Amino acid sequence: MARPDSFRIHPTAIVSAEARLADDVTVGPYTVIDGPVTLGPGCRIGPFVQLIGTLAMGQGNVVHAHCVLGDAPQHLGYKDEPTRTVIGDFNTFREGVTVHRGMPTTTKPGTGVTVIGNNNFFMSTSHLAHDCRVGNNVILASGAVVGGHGELGDRCMLSGNTAVHQFCRVGRLAMIGGTTAITQDLPPFWMVQDGINRVRSVNLVGVRRAGIPVDQIQAIRKAFHTINRTALTITAALEQIEAEYGTVPVIREQIDFIRSSKRGVCTMRSRPGDDAE
């Protein structure tokens, strides 16, 4: 890493002496890089951006105008303690995205950090709160918001103006439909739509695009039916699914996710004429 005075930075930008940027990083007009910020090769930072350390970003990230990454948690208990934001490679942050660093804690080692993986797409004005963890290839559409300690699994999608309550998890390849909210965990491969926590169907488009084999997709659909469209309790439904499909990787993933939930999981309440799939 070179010293800040060798970067391709606009003359109106302000770059802290603590910052460490790769030689090919570009920084747009009126951007502020404040404190210990590390930017990897190929990062492109647009105009009017604020990056606040401690913040580490990998290679190939693109940050558009008016984003604020690494700012303090929106939490009344935060007292300027040193916490972090860690961002992987090839993420895109469109206009006005906000990502906050972690909250300090002495009870959970490894926390106090907001973590974003690789190849994620944050559309305009989406928000990621303190201590969130985002996997890879995740999409947050415009206006999507995730509360503190939220977890987003690989290739999940949050549509426009959606909300994830704090401490909630969204499973791999799950989808939250537009203007919808969850206050419980959303299992992998399912889709919430038409109201808070109301599961509508399997995310068939997503799982097919992900290349999941047809036999595993059929198992996902059968498991969905057993959990959501029978009179069985979730515990009994999981036992039945485990006996029938417990060796199928995607079903094992769902069972483990649901059993590990601390907030309960989103489910379907059947209505006459519904056809979930």
Residues marked active site are found at 130-131, 148
* Angle of CA points 191, 192, 195, to nearest 5°: 160
Question: Do the Cβ atoms of 229 and 270 come closer than 8 Å?
Answer: yes
Burial group, residue 156, by CB count within 10 angstroms (0-12, 13-18, 19+): buried
Measured CA to CA, the distance from residue 184 to residue 187 in angstroms comes to 10
User: How many Å apart are CA 152 and CA 58, to the nearest integer?
Assistant: 19
- DSSP-based three-state secondary structure for 20: strand
Residues 219 and 213: their CA atoms lie apart, in Å, by 10
SS3 track for 89-117: CCCEECCCCEEECCCCCCCCCCCCEEEEC
Sign of CA dihedral 78, 84, 89, 95: positive
- Three-state DSSP class for residue 37: strand
Nearest residue to 176 (alpha-carbon basis) of 139, 148, 210: 139
Max Cα distance, the chain (Å) = 67
Q: Which residue type is seen at 277?
A: E
